[in-house]
Amino acid sequence: MKDETSPVSMTVDVTRLPAKGVTVKFEADERQRQALAAVHGLEKVADFRFTAKVDPWKREGARVAGEVNADITQLCVVTLEPLQVHIREEISAVFVPESSRLARMDIEGGELLLDSEGDDAPETFAHSRIDVGALAEEFFELAIDPYPRADHAELPETAPQIDAEARAEAPFAKLGSLVRKS
């Protein structure tokens, strides 16, 4: 999880979880949405909300499951026109205390063994608190398209041609001629 405080930080005390768990609901205000837009390089975050259930897991851990929903505005990477995007992403994670043996990765013979089809390794928490808001923000960030494109946007078929004179003045043109001589 991120080290800095999330604009949508909402912590839950794991030591006080009832046996049936607790449901956390959150809706970001205008200041928080502006901060999310700035942090994630978005034009605007019109809506950001999440609901998550935090249940006890094993002896000292917790399982978080829920959903984050957001309405954002991004710029198309081709036309630079604003695009309205709705994000709906499932939240799922298991947390254990930093001191738990489940927090240590199994390293066998100096190699880290991971199962790509298996569950993620548990995340850790300190001071008996889990920041459910920061977790929701992580899943939100993963759902953002890094290269948004409008439906009608098309890239040119071929790259623009560079004339011979510009090619001769290019920064590595002389280096290329040295390589050919060897």
pLDDT tens per residue across span 61-113: 899 999 999 999 999 988 899 999 999 999 999 998 877 666 555 545 555 55
Q: Do the bridges between strand 123-125 and strand 82-97 make them parallel or antiparallel, or are there none, so unpaired?
A: parallel
DSSP H/E element including 34: helix 30-39
Q: DSSP for 128-168?
A: TEEEHHHHHHHHHHHHS-SS---TT----SSPPPPPHHHHH
Q: Which of 125, 145, 144, 124 has the alpha carbon at shortest distance from 36? A: 144
Cβ contact 56:62 at 8 Å: yes
DSSP string covering 39-70: HTT-SEEEEEEEEEEEEEETTTEEEEEEEEEE
Given a cut of 80, whether residue 180 has pLDDT beyond it is no
pLDDT for the residue numbered 21: 93
56 - beta bridge partners? 62
Mean pLDDT across the chain: 83
Helix (H) or strand (E) holding 80: none
Q: Which residue has the higher pLDDT, 178 or 151?
A: 151
